[in-house]
Amino acid sequence: MAALGARGCAAVPARLRALWGPHARRGLAQDVGEGKAAKAKPAFTDEAVQTLLYKMTGLDLHKVFRPVKKELKPPQYKLMTEAQLQEATRKAIEEAKTRLVMPPVLDEREPIDDVLAEDKFLEGTETTKYIFTDITYSTPHRERFIVVREPSGVLRKATWEERDRMIQIFFPKEGRRVIPPVLFKDEHLGNVFQQDRHEDLLNMCIAQFEPDSPDYIRVHHRTYDDIDKHGKYDLLRSTRHFGGMVWYLVNRKRTDGLLIDMLNRDLLDDATSLVELYHMLHPECQSAKEAKGGNLQGVELIKVFVKTESQREGYIQLALQAYEEAMATSTAS
C-alpha cells in the first residue's frame, strides 16, 4: 500500500487541485493538523484513495454523455474513417474524465458568531437590521466582509446563511438561487427518491450549496442512505457522485449492499478495490491484518473480508457462488 501520510498539497492530484481551488487547500489544512500524529487517517483527497474510487466509478460513455435537456437542434452526422473514429472516442474519454471529477467532501463548517462592536445607546433607533456587504470585485468570497448592524446596536459578522445569500445577490452564480429551493427540505426529498432522480438532485445540490454547508452534507447523506436502503447503486455509477457515496458507506461500514451489487454485475475488480479501500480506512480490523499478512488477491480477499466484517454474510456468499459459477461456465463454453 502507498504511504498514507498527508503530505500537504502534493497528495492531491493536479487535476483535482485545479478544479477544487480553495476547497482543496481548506480540506488539507485540517489534514495536515491531524497528520502530525503517528498514523494519519487517509483522507478523501489522498492519491491512493482517489485512484480506488475513480476505478470503481466506471466510465460508461453512454451515461456520461446522456442527452441533457437543451435547445432543440437537428442532429449532426459526420462521416469518419476508423482512425478518425478512434481519435474522436479518445477525445470523448478525455472529456468524460473531466466530467467525472469528484466534488469535495469536507467537514461541516463552524458557525460564525463574532461581535465587532456593541453600541447599546443605539437601541430603539431602528426597527430592522442593516446588512453591509463588501462588493470589491477582487476579494475571494471566503474573505469578503459581510457585517450586520442589529436594531439593538450590536455590530456582528453575518452568519453563513446570510453570507451565502448576500454573495448570491451581488455576485450571482448560475444554477444557484438566493433562497434555497423547497425541494431540499427533508419532507420533499422522498418524492425525488421515488422518481429515481438522485443524480439530478445531487447536481442541483452542488450548484446551490457550498461543499461545507450543513445543507449540502445533509442532502448528500440522505441520498446515499436512500440508495443504500433500496440498493440503487447503479444510478450513481459512472457519475461524479459515486466516489463520495463509496467514501460515505465505507466510513460507516455499510458496504454489504454495494458489494453484493458489484458481484451480481460481475465487477470483480471493483469489489476488490472496495475491500482494499475498506482496509485502508480501517487498518485495525481483522480482515485487514489477515490480508496484509497473507498478501491475498481477488476472490480470496473478498472471502476473508466477508467472513470477518460483513453483516449479510449469507447473501454475499450466494453472490460469490453465483459469480464463480458464471465464470466457470463462461470459461468452459
Partner 1 sequence: AGSRLLKGYRGGHVVIRFALGGCANRPFFRIVAAHSKRARDGKYLEQLGCLDPLPNAHGERVAGLNLERLRYWLGCGAQLSRPAEKLLGLAGFLPLHPMTVTGAERLAQRRRREQQAGTAPADGPGAAP
- Residue of 48, 122, 281, 318 that binds partner 1 (CB under 8 A): 122
Q: Which of 40, 147, 267, 318 binds partner 1 (CB under 8 A)?
A: 147
Question: What SS3 class is residue 156?
Answer: strand
User: Which range binds partner 1 by CB under 8 A, 9-17, 72-80, 119-127, 301-309?
Assistant: 119-127
Name the segment binding partner 1 (CB under 8 A); options: 95-103, 112-120, 296-304, 311-319.
112-120
Stretch that binds partner 1, among 87-95, 116-124, 218-226, 316-324 (CB under 8 A): 116-124
What is the DSSP annotation of 73-104?
-PPP-----HHHHHHHHHHHHHHHHHHTPPPP
Buried b / exposed e over 270-293, threshold 16 CB at 10 Å, is bbbbbbbbbbbbeeebebbebbee
Secondary structure letter of residue 54 according to DSSP: H
Selected binder of partner 1 within 119, 196, 200, 269 (CB under 8 A): 119
Report yes or no: 285 and 276 within 8 Å, Cβ to Cβ: no
Pairing status of strand 146-149 against strand 154-157: antiparallel
Q: Which of 149, 198, 240, 279 binds partner 1 (CB under 8 A)?
A: 149
- 136 or 195, CB closer to partner 1? 136
Residue 148 within binding range of partner 1, rule CB under 8 A: yes
- Span from 104-112, 115-123, 210-218, 257-265 in contact with partner 1 (CB under 8 A): 115-123
Closer CB to partner 1, residue 18 or residue 116? 116
Enumerate residues 156-175 that contact partner 1 by CB under 8 A.
Answer: 162, 165-166, 169-170
Q: Is 121 in the site for partner 1 (CB under 8 A)?
A: yes
Which residues, at least 6 apart from 112, have a Cβ–Cβ distance to it below 8 Å? 157, 158, 159, 160, 163
* Min CB(63)–partner 1 separation in Å: 40
CB 40 within 8 A of CB 70: no
Helix (H) or strand (E) holding 66: none
Residue 70, judged by CB atoms within 10 A of its CB (0-12, 13-18, 19+), counts as exposed
State yes or no: residue 132 binds partner 1 (CB under 8 A): yes
Among residues 39, 98, 99, 145, the one that binds partner 1 under rule CB under 8 A:
145
Residue closer to partner 1 by CB (options 77, 137) is 137
Backbone angles phi, psi at 160, to 5 degrees: -60, -40
Q: Which residues contact 300 (CB under 8 A, 6 or more apart)?
A: 294
Q: CA nearest 163: which of 127, 139, 128, 187? A: 139
112 near partner 1, rule: CB under 8 A: no
CB nearer to partner 1: pick between 65 and 130: 130
Positions that interact with partner 1 (CB under 8 A): 116-117, 119, 121-125, 128-138, 145, 147-149, 155, 162, 165-166, 169-170, 179
